[in-house]
Structure 1
Amino acid sequence: MSADVRRYEDDDLEAINEILATTSPWTAYEERYRLEVADVADDDLLVVATVDDTVAGFAWTVPNGAFDRSGYLKLIGVAEDAQGQGIGSALLDHAERFVSTETTSDELFLLVSDFNEAAQAFYRHRGYDRVGQLEGYVQPGIDEYVFRKSLHDS
């Protein structure tokens, strides 16, 4: 499956929120996540991956969202029926390229829920290292692992 990655358009919001409502890890949380256009700052990068003109995934990257100096992958999601087909990799490639070429940072941080072992394996395979743990950060009883990748070495 070949995906095209492009900047977000207003018409994509419903599809993004459908992914947030129906896929892990967000379905495991008590609070339901919804993306609002007002949440995305002008210098953030919000992209979607489309297959046959249908949104199959999205990624939201904040240029200095980690410690006010490093790139932060705030959200990434791929529709259930599109997982395992390279869409997450295409979105992550886009996020990494954005941070390494359009910002002053050479590293990207992200959080992964402790129960999301598939995502942890995916990021490790992509060269990310687990560098910390935030206990109950999003929801009590669920820890978030902090992952980091130096983009200078990639």
Structure 2
Amino acid sequence: MNTLNIRPLAAEDLIAAKAVVDSTGLFPGEMLHDMTAAYLGADSGDELWFVASRNDAVIGLVYCAPERLTDRTWNLLLIAVLDTEQGKGVGSRLTAHLETALSNRRERLLLVETSALPEFDRTRAVYRKLGYVEVARIPAFYAAGEDKVVFWKMLTG
């Protein structure tokens, strides 16, 4: 069976999740252990982590957390799909799953922040295709010459 399954991240997924992140070359995978520590520990907080797997192999992951001092606003902070699985709808399915989970919790809106560098052109195009609207660009945010692009999507009325 070649079905895509999406489920919450488990501790035993970390090695495979790091390999997914490393395959993209756009995010340092060694940061995953620290990033997931609270979620996988006794205090999971409000963070949401999901993995996509096919034939029990992790091929994608998504991470989202609430924005402090806001009314039900969340920020998609990480999404990654194994390089050999990109372009097959895995990222779109992960995003849809996350949106459904947030909507079921009656959360209000979701922000996505990404780089304006050319290597993120495809990423920004996917967000637009999924109904996200670019609402801001912050010049030189990540580094000199690297702007931050903010996308927005309403989840509930």
Normalising by structure 1, we get a TM-score of 0.85
Larger helix fraction of residues:
2
Cross-structure match for 1:61: 64
Judge which range, 52-61 or 12-21, deviates more: 12-21
| Deviations 1:46-98 (CA, angstroms, capped at 9, x unpaired) | 01000111000000111x22653301111100000011111111100111112
1:6 aligns with 2:7: yes
CA–CA distance in 1 between the matches of 2:48 and 2:115?
22
CA–CA distance in 1 between the matches of 2:69 and 2:23?
30
Identical-residue share of aligned pairs (%): 28
CA–CA distance in 1 between the matches of 2:68 and 2:154?
13
Listed as ranges, the gaps of 5+ residues in structure 2 are none
Question: Alpha-carbon deviation of 1:141?
Answer: 2.6
Listed as ranges, the gaps of 5+ residues in structure 1 are 27-31
Q: Which has the larger radius of gyration?
A: 2
> CA 1:13/1:136 → structure 2, altered by over 3 Å: closer, same or farther?
farther
1:50 aligns with 2:50: no
Counterparts of 1:1-154 in structure 2, within 5 Å, are 2-26=3-27, 32-33=28-29, 34-36=31-33, 37-40=36-39, 41-62=44-65, 64-65=66-67, 68-69=70-71, 70-103=73-106, 105-115=107-117, 116-152=120-156
For the aligned residue pairs, the C-alpha RMSD in angstroms reads: 1.9
Figure out how many residues of one structure are paired with residues of the other and give that number.
Answer: 146
| Deviations 1:81-134 (CA, angstroms, capped at 9, x unpaired) | 01111111110011111221114x321101121121111111111110000112
CA–CA distance in 1 between the matches of 2:10 and 2:108?
27
Normalising by structure 2, we get a TM-score of 0.83
